[in-house]
Amino acid sequence: MQGVKRRTRKWMALAVAALAVLAAGLGILAPSAAYAAEGCKVDYKIASQWGGGFTGDVKITNLGTAVSSWSLVWTFPNGQRVTQAWNATTTNSGDTVTAKNMSYNGSIPTNGSVSFGFNGSWSGTNGVPASFSLNGTACTGSVGEPSTPPTTTPPPTGGISAMETVAAMQPGWNLGNSLDAVGADETAWGNPRVTEALIDNVAAQGYNSIRIPVTWDNHQSKSAPYAVEDAYLDRVEEVVGWALDADLYVLINIHHDSWIWMADMNTNRTVVEDRYEAIWTALAGRFRDAPPELLFESVNEPQFNNVDDTTAYALLDDLNTSFHSIVRASGGGNADRVLVLPTLHTNADQGRLDALSATIAALDDEHIAATIHYYGFWPFSVNIAGYTKFNDEVKADLEGYFNRAHDEFIANGIPVLIGEYGLLGFDTHTGTVEQGEKLKFFEYAGYYARQKGITLQLWDNGQHFDRTAFTWKDPELFTMLKAAWSTRSGTASTDQVYVGRTATVADVSLTLNLNGTTFQGLRVGSTSLVQGTDYTISGSTLTIKASRLAALLGDRSYGVRGTVHAVFSQGAPWRISVVSYDQPTMSAATGASATFAIPTQFKGDQLATMEAKYADGTPAGPQNWTSYKEFGRAFNPDYTAGAVTLPTAFWSEVNDGQKVTLTFHFWSGRTVTYYVTESGGNVTGSLT
């Protein structure tokens, strides 16, 4: 294969400097009884350390007969304790720790490895354990004879498993709206042409995998035999090669074709099947000899027009089965390449999961992974119906989604890749969801995915990582994302403290969400504030003293006057902005509905949401099942221009000539009531 060269496999451990490495022997487990193994090596690394806490990485390399499960035991020399673990379950008994495999990583083939990590506490000295043992056998660091003959079945052959492959892909990033763009070329949706420097810089951020969505429609003949353009295959191969050379796992697919032409499969089955099979035949041939770090995804977000679920499941099963047959029959590296199959609509409704499970069971192939997408609890994700905060309902939706995927697939040995995750409101702009609430969502998503052994790939269509400057457009968001790859971060009830511009400055209290961390202090820039003078802490209640707030407010002009950061024992710090504001005001206005905007003096405040009701109290405007309209689509604040615009999407579903009461809710807690009437395409806005 041209443009792709074999690379060194990257495993799940963080790319951090090792402070301690320890080699040791390993015992292995038979199905019913433990026995001492020929040997193994254990690498114990202190990946990061801070006051009172540290992160540890442990890698077990099996030098002997394959094992089907493991239990590793060590004793801390200085009273350390494990407080949280991932990719293993741990128990503490005094200074002794026992780490056992999860359901998905118990098998370690000969010369294979498995890794897990943990957060721990320490005081005074953080020494390295002197020895390890597995299944009751002391580790010696050398290969010897087993103390009891093994009774295992012959060890598996080949490379790492599908579960290990998908685990090693965490964390992942999407090259969205480039090769999947619908138009003349990859720049059709506004992104620059993909460069090798971009791919290298993505890898440098710490990502282990890249999903490269590809839309083929404009690069495939519309008549039999539906040939794919060689030049486009060359371009895809070039980008894939750059990613593999950058030591990234790579996932390629059929992307927007799913709705452009594949959705008509029920009424145009022969053409859809022939086009689909032609694409995968071309891809399987082109990438036959690619390394196993390249994965194939059968189709993105499969959907079918005008059919019920039962029919849709059968259509998707046909595509997934055809995909599997074509790739496997092509031989070479495709004989055991990990293939990624989606649920219908790529969501985790139980019926969708069950249908894909049936397909995977029928294929009877151990090199299969399942994929779903997650964009959060929809009302929160787009900021509609008053869901402005990451509350318990939003959290429960995430937990239920991840739990169902885990229980259906991971618990049964099938890895799960959330090939896209993020917030749908980002399609409008990244300010649709308030910054602090957004950070809480990503912090918890990263944490909970780790608990369930799910790999996440961030959807980025150009709104997050600048593709020419190679910097993050929201560094605070990336800091939280990166922390969530390995640990938890503390947050708080809010990231904003509003102080009336002419009001007497008083103490302000916030509730900390410790998330398993401990609060370390408050900081302004690099200066640590003084407990008792600048702030107090009582349990999870943080109180910022009036004197410190007054110093931050300065001349008290409108807007963010200063910030403090709450620092925790691990993870990202939590920014708290101190804002000077007054009651926002609006002015009467008239204009065409296509361009109507309400003159607004925000006076330092920020808009949270807008309600729209008719005089009888019923909801007005689009999505009239709720009075709270969708941020960014039914209304838009423009802080620079001093206006709130009401776009055509709002007026298109407002009754002509009927007065609508708008209530604007601001993050300070203040509200403004405004009245609008649209008649014949003209709008009158007033305060009465």
Query: Where in the sequence numbering do the catalytic residues fall?
Result: 301, 420
For residue 259, which phi and psi values (nearest 5 degrees)? -105, -20
Specify whether the CB–CB gap between 635 and 650 falls below 8 A.
yes
* Two structure tokens written together for 515: 């998330």
Q: Minimal CA–CA distance to 489: which of 433, 530, 446?
A: 446
Whole-number Å distance between alpha carbons of 324 and 627:
47
Specify whether the CB–CB gap between 456 and 449 falls below 8 A.
yes
Whole-number Å distance between alpha carbons of 617 and 58:
60
For residue 374, which phi and psi values (nearest 5 degrees)? -145, 120
Specify whether the CB–CB gap between 575 and 495 falls below 8 A.
yes
Other CB atoms within a 10 A radius of the CB of residue 673 amount to 12
Specify whether the CB–CB gap between 475 and 439 falls below 8 A.
no
* Two structure tokens written together for 196: 């090798």
* Two structure tokens written together for 658: 């009927």
DSSP letter at 631 equals B
Specify whether the CB–CB gap between 239 and 250 falls below 8 A.
no
Residue 342: beta bridge partners?
371
Identify the burial level of 231 via C-beta atoms within 10 angstroms of its C-beta, where 0-12 means exposed, 13-18 middle and 19 or more buried. exposed
Other CB atoms within a 10 A radius of the CB of residue 238 amount to 15
DSSP letter at 17 equals -
- Start-to-end CA distance of the chain, whole Å, equals 71
Residue 633's SS3 state is coil
Q: Minimal CA–CA distance to 487: which of 547, 569, 588?
A: 569
* Two structure tokens written together for 650: 């709002």
Whole-number Å distance between alpha carbons of 379 and 25:
53
- 171 preceded by a cis bond (ω within 30 of 0): yes
DSSP string, 230-289: HHHHHHHHHHHHHHHHTT-EEEEE--THHHHTGGGTTTSHHHHHHHHHHHHHHHHHHTTT
What are the C-alpha distances in Å from 359 to residues 120, 342, 344, 353, 414? 42, 10, 12, 10, 12
Question: Do β-strands 541-544 and 508-513 pair in parallel, antiparallel, or remain unpaired?
Answer: antiparallel
Residue 521's SS3 state is strand
**How many Å separate Cα 351 from the centre of its chain?**
23
Whole-number Å distance between alpha carbons of 35 and 451:
30
DSSP letter at 313 equals H
Residue 293's SS3 state is coil
Whole-number Å distance between alpha carbons of 530 and 82:
30
Whole-number Å distance between alpha carbons of 609 and 607:
6
Other CB atoms within a 10 A radius of the CB of residue 105 amount to 20
CA angle at 242 for the pair 237 and 247, rounded to the nearest 5°:
125
